[in-house]
A = this chain, B = another copy of it.
Amino acid sequence: MREDIKARLDEYTRMINDTLSVIGTDIPEGTKSVCDAINYSLNIGGKRLRPVLALEFCRMCGGDVSSSLRSACAIELVHTYSLIHDDLPCMDDDDYRRGKESCHKRFGEDIALLAGDALNSYAFEVISSEAEKGNISYETGIKLISVLSSHIGVDGMVGGQVIDLESEGKNIPLKTLDSLQEKKTGALIEAACLMGCILAGVEKDYSSYLLAKRYAMCLGKAFQIVDDILDVEGSFEELGKPIGSDKEQGKCTYVTALGLDGAKEKAKELTDNAIKYLSGFEDNEFLTELTKELLIRKK
């Protein structure tokens, strides 16, 4: 990665990690176990891609990054909840996540379930408290909550997980795989980009809002295809989780649908398209380079 791009990414990551570590310090009496589980899962080395996207769209659209920080971190709370629940035995039953024990493996299923539940609603608590404190306006708060909540329910992330569950062991058409992944992975990435625009005061019918949406769609899909490729070609050491779990679980992926070479070609094409949509923004260099990096990532 280019030095200047890496430096900016590190700066974003540091700001996000600092904010998340403050978010997790209030431990009401008797709830240490669930707070430990929350903090454990929040801090086992996520890429922080979603809040980075939100903050960078906010910045590119002329918004203020520092007053948007906590609202952007709300997206990481939702992402973390979804990973905890996705790893549960009744779901993907994954024992490892980012090279460490998954939440339920470490804290038990009951505590992991509750940690995910708390993180889900906590995202909305964080955004509403930002509005109450005046860091963002009431209107901005409502718009952020509207976009986030509508992207993670049955018509978004959860819907994608349902289609995923019901597709296991089946040969599904590419159209269904697209719809599954647009919701399961794509919806939250889209929410992150749109929340960045909203934090900068961009209205829904502005062209930059629409460009952000199109960018997010391409990036989300490219991101998922790379995930699928890494599940075949990656290593446990770099990924922090066992390779081949998709195949083991009988999941249809972009690799099974398009072949390894076809999947790589598709990811490249989507990345190129994503970058084209960024040309509508001034000062798009950081995100352009980051988008390229996500294509060649090893984890």
Contact = CB atoms under 8 A, between A and B. Distances in A.
Interface stretch (A121-129, A240-248, A252-260): A121-129
A100 B113 CA distance: 23
A67 B76 CA distance: 33
Interface string A26-70: 111111011100100000000000000000000000000000000
A174 interface: no
B31 A163 contact: yes
Nearest to A155: B28
Sort chain A's interface into a size bin: 35 or more
A113 B88 contact: yes
A149 interface: yes
A30 B139 contact: no
A85 interface: yes
A120 B117 contact: yes
B159 A28 contact: yes
Interface in A161-176: 161-163, 165-166, 176
Given A31-B155, A138-B139, 15 more contacts: A30-B162, A30-B179, A34-B158, A34-B162, A88-B90, A111-B162, A116-B117, A117-B117, A121-B152, A122-B153, A125-B150, A125-B153, A128-B143, A131-B146, A142-B142
